[in-house]
Amino acid sequence: MGVTDRVWGALTSMIKLEDKVNRQAEAMKAQQQKIEDLTGRVIRLEAQLELLTSAAMVNRLKGE
């Protein structure tokens, strides 16, 4: 009975561990998606800033 209990305990521990790994993988995928979304936002903000600074330079050169 002792060996059977230890084998059963090991199997249940492996199943629990696999579940934890799967949940962590899903959490990492969600975090990666958030990072990619934020990266896209930063790129758009950089582009807007560059356009605005270029427009300000043009206005300054025109003397407006």
What is the C-alpha separation between 48 and 32, in angstroms, rounded? 24
Instruction: Report the pLDDT value the prediction gives residue 59, as an integer from 0 to 100.
Output: 85
What mean pLDDT comes out for the span 17-22?
96
Instruction: Report the pLDDT value the prediction gives residue 64, as an integer from 0 to 100.
Output: 61
pTM of the model: 0.65
Structural Rg of the chain based on CA atoms: 28
Instruction: Report the pLDDT value the prediction gives residue 62, as an integer from 0 to 100.
Output: 84
9 against 63, higher pLDDT? 9
